[in-house]
Amino acid sequence: MAAITSPEVLLEVFPYLRVLKDGTIDRVAGTQVAPPGLDPETGVLSKDIVILPQTGVSARLYRPNTAKPGTKLPLVVYLHGGAFCISSAADPCYHTSLNNLVAEANAIAVSVNYRLAPEYPLPTAYEDCWATLNWVFNGGEDRDSWVKDHVDFGRVFLVGDSAGANIAHHLALRIKDSDPDPKMKIAGIGMVNPYFWGKKPIGGEVGDLVRKSMVDTWWNFVCPSEKGSDDPLINPFLDGAPGLEGLACGKVLVMVAEKDILRDRGRLYYEELVKSKWGGRKELIETQGEDHDFHIFNPNCDKAKILIRDLGKFVNQD
């Protein structure tokens, strides 16, 4: 009997995936799937729908099971993390987090299942999320009844963690760029542990070159270009990048975690927002003693509950 050998690994993008010699993408994280339905812990109901049949872009919709006909609720358009290359709206970690957020905020949520790199190179993820946002506002009768019947379109929020927070930033800039009298109105952006980066290390990155190199590898894998980690998609503070004054929303909440290698980029985003001519309300919250996306991986810890509570307040405060 011939020996069975493992396929040769061509590239390892730790800790997310491996590229095998035959071109296969072997994801080692973010592949599990939780079914939609009624969550008995939160009383939140969910279902999966196709947004764009021609591309297969889908979303998981959430609503409080107690929502009465005609009741208008805020809408959270949620953009999941995963470095643009892993996870999904059906990931059990995200499913749990969305159930918690919808219950806390008493809101409808559309969790976007955008396509992943490298099979769908950037900017595909941005385009899929943009298409979903257009569907929310301009989909007419093609929109799901949960959106048509229950959403207060004056209270639509973009919320995302990590790569999803990055996407939220770019969507809010694109709304202002797309139409001087935008048909899409975003009330606010909630950015949890946002994934921004740059070639030159700042803050804690200077003394943590191992993790600095790791994050460089992630970005160069999903967005190979001569600009590397100074591509405007990942570094919004370079000369020539769109100014933050163009954000088409009324308020921004930036949430960072003390032990996160991305922390100082989130702080910088907030500081640049304060210095910019953008006139909305801005807030920075830092969670002490925690690392990147801790609330996703450990949703029942006290600090995760506080984070979800703060997001709920953000959605509901005028």
Asked whether residue 20 falls in the same domain as residue 154, the answer is no
Closest CA to 49 of 178, 135, 159: 135
Residues 15 and 86 in one domain: no
Q: Which of 35, 5, 1, 6 is nearest to 18 (CA)?
A: 6
Within this chain, do residues 213 and 138 fall inside the same structural domain, yes or no? Answer: yes
| Residues 73, 90 within the same domain | yes
Q: What share of residues in the chain are helix, strand, coil (percent, to 5)?
A: 35, 25, 40
Calculate the CA 246 to chain-centre distance.
20
Q: How far apart are CA 116 and CA 17, in angstroms?
A: 12
Report pLDDT for 2: 39
Residue 156's pLDDT is 97
Contact 194, 262 (CB under 8 A): yes
Active site residue 318: no
How far does CA 312 lie from the centroid of its chain? 16
The pLDDT value recorded for residue 295 is 98
Task: Point out the catalytic residue in the list 39, 91, 161, 260.
Answer: 260
**Strand bridging mode 17-20 / 25-27:** antiparallel
Same domain? For 107 and 88 the reply is yes
Q: What is the pLDDT of residue 4?
A: 40
- Domain residues for the domain of 23 are 1-31
The whole-angstrom separation of Cα 203 and Cα 208 is: 10
Give yes or no: residues 230 and 159 share one domain: yes
Task: For Cα atoms 114, 169, 183, give the angle at the middle one, nearest 5 degrees.
Answer: 85
Residue 12 and residue 46 in one domain: no
Shared domain for 206 and 271, answered yes or no, is: yes
Q: State yes or no: is 260 an active-site residue.
A: yes
Question: What integer pLDDT is reported at residue 8 of this predicted model?
Answer: 86
Q: Are residues 197 and 291 in the same domain?
A: yes
Question: Going by C-beta distance under 8 Å and a sequence separation of 6 or more, which residues neighbour residue 303?
Answer: 287, 289, 290, 294, 295
Question: Number of helices and strands (H, E) in the chain?
Answer: 8, 12
Residues 2, 136: one domain?
no
pTM over 0.85: yes
Strands (E), 65-199: 73-79, 108-113, 151-161, 186-192
Q: Which of 161, 292, 295, 310 is catalytic?
A: 292
Instruction: Walk along the chain (318 residues) in steps of 10 and give the mean pLDDT of each run.
Output: 58 91 92 97 97 94 92 97 98 98 98 97 97 91 89 97 98 80 87 97 95 95 91 91 92 98 98 96 98 96 98 95
The number of angstroms, rounded, from the C-alpha of 26 to the middle of its chain's C-alpha atoms is 23
Euclidean distance between CA atoms 167 and 159, whole angstroms? 9
Q: What is the pLDDT of residue 3?
A: 37
CA distance 284 to 289: 16
Of 58, 88, 111, 162, the active-site residue reads 162
Q: Are residues 15 and 89 in the same domain?
A: no
- In 3D space, the residue among 141, 138, 136 whose CA is nearest the CA of residue 108 turns out to be 136
CATH number at residue 84: 3.40.50.1820
Is the same domain home to 208 and 186? yes
Q: Is 295 a catalytic residue?
A: no
For the chain, what is the domain count?
2
Provide the pLDDT for residue 181: 64
Q: Are 132 and 59 in contact (CB under 8 A)?
A: yes
